[in-house]
Homo-oligomer: A and B are copies of this chain.
Amino acid sequence: MISEFDIIGRYFTRPARSAVLGVGDDCALLRPRPDRLLAISTDTMLEGRHFSAGADPFKLGHKALAVNLSDLAAMGADPRFALLALTLPEANESFLENFSRGFFGIAERFEVELIGGDTTRGALAITVTVIGEVPQDFALRRDGARAGDDIWISGSTGEAALALANLEGRVQLSPAARAACEERLHAPEPRVELGGRLRGIARSAIDVSDGLLADLSHILEASGVGAELWLDKLPRSSAIASCANTGIAQECLLAGGDDYELLFSAPPFKRAEIDEVSGDLELALTRVGIMVPGEAKLALRDARGEPVPLPRKGYDHFA
């Protein structure tokens, strides 16, 4: 049986590039740049909660890092380093081989160094901690939104949740729609470049992991503003738009979660700049509402401006 130290040595040790010291000591050592703030976040994925038993290990490795990079993107931070705490039921070499390929595939694409971690034996669980850098005064916080800001969303929401609804038999998707939605669920793409480009443009930002309404509410609460969200303007992927069960499709769109798009606010005079970013990145950026004065309340409106009742807001592990 392969040992704990062999697992780390064989699958998770790459030479340190910019770290002073990487995997293999009591701590990793980093030399931060003096003009940058460090942005740090951590996220856990559990078998049976965030993914099913038998999930593709390559995609698990990808997603475990992707969801954390999404937090850095939402802060406007450039990814630099990651730590991986991996709990495994057994030292399965095929799992480790594929998991590490998925992990390092996205790590190398975004120039993230794995600098440390921990390996323990138990039910499959993955906790990743990421560290990024952001120039001082340019971090995209949740508390910066102001009344009058446009509300923007990247890409589109709802497909990951629609994949789950299909797996649970609550909707019936076409093979093409199903493939598109499952790719969003299992191999999300963090909006890292977008986060970097929004520095100096967006006043507030969050990544959509709990669901569009829930995450917008987090911005409202932190910023002390209200919002109007325009239902008909929300970008819909073809899978969402063509779903026969429009009730479930709309719930996925508004409250699905696991989207990893960026939801952000910016003053109206930034519209041209944002359109330019959208063109450069070949990524849809859609204006879907406006921040309004007053308490942190969210109003959803249809195409005629009429209020639409709000569905449940998002996912809560303990609700």
Can you list 30 contacts pairing A with B, beta carbon distance less than 8 Å? A4-B316, A4-B318, A5-B316, A21-B139, A24-B222, A25-B75, A25-B141, A25-B142, A25-B222, A26-B72, A26-B75, A27-B40, A27-B72, A28-B40, A28-B41, A29-B39, A29-B139, A31-B136, A42-B117, A42-B118, A43-B118, A44-B120, A46-B120, A83-B129, A87-B125, A90-B318, A118-B127, A119-B318, A120-B317, A122-B125
Top 8 A-B pairs, shortest CB-CB distance:
A27-B39, A32-B32, A26-B74, A27-B41, A27-B75, A26-B71, A91-B318, A121-B317
Residue A77 lies at the interface, judged by CB distance under 8 Å to chain B = yes
Please, which residues of chain B bring their CB within 8 A of the CB of A129? 42, 83, 129
Residue A37 lies at the interface, judged by CB distance under 8 Å to chain B = yes
Residue A132 lies at the interface, judged by CB distance under 8 Å to chain B = yes
Bitwise interface map of A from 27 to 56 toward B, beta carbon under 8 Å scored 1, else 0: 111111010011111111010111000000
Residue A290 lies at the interface, judged by CB distance under 8 Å to chain B = no
Q: How far, in whole Å, are A122 and B71 apart by their CA atoms in the complex?
A: 22
Instruction: Indicate how many identical chains form the complex.
Output: 2
Q: Is the CB of A121 within 8 A of B49?
A: yes
Q: Which residues of A contact B (CB under 8 A)?
A: 1-5, 7, 20-21, 24-32, 34, 37-44, 46, 48-50, 71-72, 74-75, 77, 81, 83, 85, 87-88, 90-91, 115-123, 125, 127, 129, 131-132, 134, 136, 139, 141-143, 205-207, 222, 316-319
Please, which residues of chain B bring their CB within 8 A of the CB of A88? 318
Please, which residues of chain B bring their CB within 8 A of the CB of A20? 37, 139
| A46-B122 CB under 8 A given contacts A38-B30, A40-B131, A134-B29 | yes
With both chains docked as a complex, state the minimum distance between the C-beta of A195 and any C-beta of chain B, in angstroms: 9
Please, which residues of chain B bring their CB within 8 A of the CB of A122? 46, 48-49, 123, 125
The closest CB in chain B to the CB of A74 belongs to: B26
The closest CB in chain B to the CB of A31 belongs to: B37
Q: Is the CB of A319 within 8 A of B1?
A: yes
Q: Is the CB of A83 within 8 A of B42?
A: yes
| A120-B49 CB under 8 A given contacts A44-B87, A127-B85 | yes
Q: How far, in whole Å, are A125 and B38 apart by their CA atoms in the complex?
A: 27
Q: Is the CB of A28 within 8 A of B21?
A: no
Q: Is the CB of B318 within 8 A of A3?
A: yes
Please, which residues of chain B bring their CB within 8 A of the CB of A38? 29-32, 38
Please, which residues of chain B bring their CB within 8 A of the CB of A123? 122-123
Q: Is the CB of A27 within 8 A of B118?
A: no
